[in-house]
Amino acid sequence: MNFVRAFIAIEIPKPVQDAVERQTARLRQTLGNDLIRWIPAHNIHITLKFLGDVSEAHINFLKQMIAREADSHPQFEMQIGGLGAYPNLRKPRVLWIGLHAPDVLASLQKNIEAGAVRFGYEREERAFTPHLTIGRVRQSAPTTDLLKIRAALDSTQFGNFERAKIDALHLFKSDLTPGGSIYTKLFSAPLKADSKIS
């Protein structure tokens, strides 16, 4: 049986990806590539559910679930802004940009999670906090480097990001390569058109 490594996500519009790249350029330059594994702008997305290894037989079931949820949730807009780190700024492992989104995003994620669990995928224990991962701190970074990361995050100021219109859900395949992950769209489903934001 063939398996693919897969996840369900929302893609960030290209103009917003470009804005993230521009506004994080100084941060990337300050911290460099030896300390942080930066996520390429075209790979930045909002993960709604990481599925892990999915059998090809399951792909059609997932497509049906995604289409059903997309059809029952309207398109929406969200605002991007604010830098942070998981688990916290003292011990940063993942660098992220925050998101301000309407309740529809949380509802969408909750339903996708419940649908995936019904198909036998493991439930995510952590609460859903919408964010864009921009980089991962390399393993075993010494305390001096962690302090450097914290100082860089504290001193980084963002200008205003334009609002991002979200109009589709996607099922992605993830291929791990020495140069980083390569994401391929396996399926997309449009969210219900909302006349208020078109």
Over range 143-157, report the average pLDDT: 89
24 DSSP 8-state letter: T
Look at 40-49, 141-150, 152-161 and tell me which has the smallest mean pLDDT.
152-161
Looking at the whole model, is its pTM more than 0.85?
yes
Residue 195 in this model has a pLDDT that exceeds 70: no
Kindly state whether residue 195 falls inside one of the protein's structural domains: no
Residue 39, number of CB atoms within 10 A of its CB: 21
- Chain mean pLDDT for the chain: 90
Kindly state whether residue 197 falls inside one of the protein's structural domains: no
Residue 80 in this model has a pLDDT that exceeds 60: yes
Kindly state whether residue 169 falls inside one of the protein's structural domains: yes
Kindly state whether residue 80 falls inside one of the protein's structural domains: yes
Distance CA 60, CA 138 (A): 36
Helix (H) or strand (E) holding 170: strand 168-177
Residue 132 near residue 99 (C-beta atoms within 8 A): yes
Kindly state whether residue 7 falls inside one of the protein's structural domains: yes
- Print the domain residue range for 118: 3-190
* Tally of domains in the chain: 1
Q: Which CATH number covers residue 88?
A: 3.90.1140.10
Kindly state whether residue 134 falls inside one of the protein's structural domains: yes
Kindly state whether residue 25 falls inside one of the protein's structural domains: yes
Among residues of the chain, what percentage have pLDDT more than 70? 97
Look at 63-72, 110-119, 133-142 and tell me which has the smallest mean pLDDT.
133-142
Residue pLDDT, tens place only, 16-46: 899 899 989 999 999 998 899 999 988 999 9
With cut-offs at 50, 70 and 90, classify the pLDDT of residue 63.
Answer: very high
Kindly state whether residue 76 falls inside one of the protein's structural domains: yes
